[in-house]
Amino acid sequence: MTDRYDCADPTGRADGLDAAERAVKDGRLVVLPTDTLYGIGADAFSPSAVRDLAATKGRGRDMPVPVLIGSWRTLDGLVDRVVPTVRELVRAFWPGGLTLIVRHPSTLSWDLGDAVGTVALRMPLHPVAIELLRRTGPMAVSSANISGRPPATTADEAWAQLGASVDVYLDAGPCPAAVPSTIVDCTGPAPKVLRSGAVSVAALRAVVPEVVAPAG
């Protein structure tokens, strides 16, 4: 059974967050709003839930699922070593539309895909997402769409693509930005932009001048 909650209504938001928390902890899928796009999420530490997420999207292991977190403090437990450039970018743009690819400790018991020791992390600037993440801990979250189709900017668009394959939908209206996050690879000698999005290269370079822009 799929449940949908209107997060613009205080009662709907409270009930929806309770239902989404239960679903995540039970290894089920939820759709949640973020500041960029709607996402489909699952417990990052449940391999079966992450597999279900990827299968629902039609996404292969060659496209590892990013992870959303609800606080800066969580970063330190998920990263092998927080280098100064990562710390500076986090302070400047989190919460917000910046995804950072970093190396994670080999001791973490998760399987997000063929990431070869790395993980894409972001802290979203959305109150519903933050509250859910603070209840559940890190969540594997990808855009709420079938791979190859347009990403969802509303809960209606997410439902049209994913339907009853998701247990809980948190509807908070249209996404404020309606653009994907900027992705920066921080595993090399200099941060490298892999995808342009909500945070511009100019803004990144104002904080870390050595940021490498995408080719072309």
Query: Domain boundaries in the chain?
Result: 3-207
pLDDT band for position 122 (cuts 50, 70, 90): very high
Buried b or exposed e, range 35-63, using 16+ CB within 10 angstroms: bbbbbbbbbbbbbebbebbbebbebeeee
Region 119-132: what's the mean pLDDT? 97
Query: Tell me: the pLDDT tens digits for 61-109?
Result: 989 999 999 999 999 999 988 899 999 999 999 999 999 999 999 888 8
| CA distances from residue 45 to 51, 110, 114, 116 in whole angstroms, order as listed | 11, 5, 15, 17
Domain 3-207 belongs in CATH node 3.90.870.10: yes
CA–CA dist 126, 42 (Å, integer):
17
DSSP letters along 27-91, please? T--EEE--SSS-EEEEETT-HHHHHHHHHHHT--TTSPPPEE-SSHHHHHHH-S---HHHHHHHH
What mean pLDDT comes out for the span 177-203?
A: 94
Average pLDDT, the chain: 95
Q: Global pTM?
A: 0.95
Mean pLDDT check: name the lowest of 19-33, 98-112, 154-168. Answer: 98-112
Give, for 12, the enclosing helix (H) or strand (E).
helix 10-25
Rounded average pLDDT over 173-197:
94
What does the pLDDT read at residue 181? 96
Q: Region 168-175: what's the mean pLDDT?
A: 97
Neighbours of 82 (CB within 10 A): 14
Q: Phi/psi of residue 212, each to 5°?
A: -95, 125
The sheet with strand 67-68 has its strands ordered as: 3-6, 168-171, 30-32, 39-43, 139-143, 67-68, 118-122, 98-103, 182-185, 192-195
Q: What is the mean pLDDT of residues 192-216?
A: 93
Q: Are 128 and 33 in contact (CB under 8 A)?
A: yes
Answer yes or no: is pLDDT of 216 > 70. Answer: no
pLDDT value at residue 81: 85
Is the confidence at residue 16, as pLDDT, over 80?
yes
